[in-house]
Amino acid sequence: MNIKILSRNPNLYSTQRLVEAAKKRKHEVEIIDPLKCDIVIEKRKPNIYYKGKYLEHVDAVIPRIGASVTFYGTAVVRQFEMMNAFTTTGSEALLRSRDKLRSLQLLSKAKIGLPKTVFTNYSRDVEGVINQVGGTPLVIKLLEGTQGLGVVLAETKNAARSVIEAFNGLQARVIVQEFIKEAKGADIRAFVVDGHVVGAMKRQGKEGEFRSNLHRGGSAEIIELSDEEEVAAVRAAKAMGLGVAGVDMLQSSRGPLILEVNSSPGLEGIEKATNKDIAKSIIRFIEKNA
C-alpha cells in the first residue's frame, strides 16, 4: 500500500518508527509536511499538491499533527478523506480531541469516569468555582495547554483565587478540576489501537512535581491494567471516535478517571516502557481497514 505520514519533523522517534514498521511490512511510505501541502478543491476532483506533484493513489494516511497546526493539519487530513484515503485519525475526531472542554463533555455523556471539572465564562464568583470541585487543593488547566504546560496545582484557596483571577484578567480560558490525592502524582497512559489496548504504562512525576509528563522529567514503567481501566480506555477512545489514541487516566478510590484522550500520542515512551512494537499495531490497523 501507499502510506503517507503527516509529520513536520521526519526525525522524530514516532515518525521514524512508523516508517520502519511500514517498510518492514512491504508498504510504500512517505513523510509529508502538512504545512507544505496545497489543498486543491474543484468539482469531483479533490487533490493535494506537494513539492511540485499531485499526491495520487494514496491508500492510507497517518496524521501526526501537532497542536499548534491543528487548523491547517486537519484541513489536509479532511482533503485526504475526500480523496478516499483511509486515515488512522479522522479529521473530525482530531478536532474533537484538541478541544479539551468538548472532549470532557463527550466523555461525560458517554458516562465515563472523570475528575469533577468546572468551566465558566470568566466568572467573578471564584469562591463558588473552588467550592464546586470540592475545595483546594485543585488543578487549573489552560484549554490550549499541552505536555503539562499551562497546568497549575493550587494548594490553598488564596493561591487558587490568585491564579484563576490572573487567567481571567488575561482572558485565558481555563478549566478547574478536583485534585485526586490518592493518585500520588502518577497517571496511566493506555495506548488504544482499533478498539484494543496494545500497551500501557504508569508515569510518575519527579519528586515535588504533580505532573507526570515524561517531557517534564517523569519516569515510566509497564503496568497491567485492571479490567475496569482497560474498559475505560477503550470506551474513551470510542467516545472520541479515535482509532489510535493515548488515553490518560488517574487511579482513584472511585475507579479510573479519564484526564485526556490524545489523538497524536508519542510512541517513544510507551514502546520503551512496555518493550512492545506499537508502530506495528498501527500499520496492521491500516492493513485491516484501508
**Using only C-alpha atoms, what is the Rg of the chain?**
20
pLDDT of res. 145: 59
Q: How far is CA 11 from the centre of its chain?
A: 20
The owner of cell 509529508 is 32
Backbone angles phi, psi at 176, to 5 degrees: -115, 125
Q: In the sheet that 117-118 helps form, which strands lie side by side, from edge to edge?
A: 117-118, 174-178, 138-142, 151-154
pTM of the full predicted structure? 0.91
d(CA 78, CA 64): 14
Q: Where are the domains of the chain?
A: 2-96, 99-111+182-289, 117-179
At 282 the pLDDT is: 98
CATH of 2-96, one of 3.40.50.2300, 3.30.70.270, 1.20.120.340, 3.40.50.20: 3.40.50.20
Low-confidence ranges of the chain (pLDDT < 50): none
The CATH topology of domain 99-111+182-289 is D-amino Acid Aminotransferase; Chain A, domain 1 (3.30.470)
User: CA-based angle 272:278:283, to the nearest 5?
Assistant: 150
Same CATH topology for 99-111+182-289 and 117-179: the answer is: no
> Which numeric CATH code is attached to 117-179?
3.30.1490.20
Residue 185's pLDDT is: 85
Contact between 125 and 137 (Cβ < 8 Å): no
Write down the pLDDT at residue 215: 54
Cβ-count burial 170-204 (b if 16+ within 10 Å, e if not): eeebbbbbbbbeebebbbbbbbbbbeebbbbbbbe
DSSP string, 1-23: -EEEEE-S-TTSHHHHHHHHHHH
Q: What pLDDT score does 207 carry?
A: 67
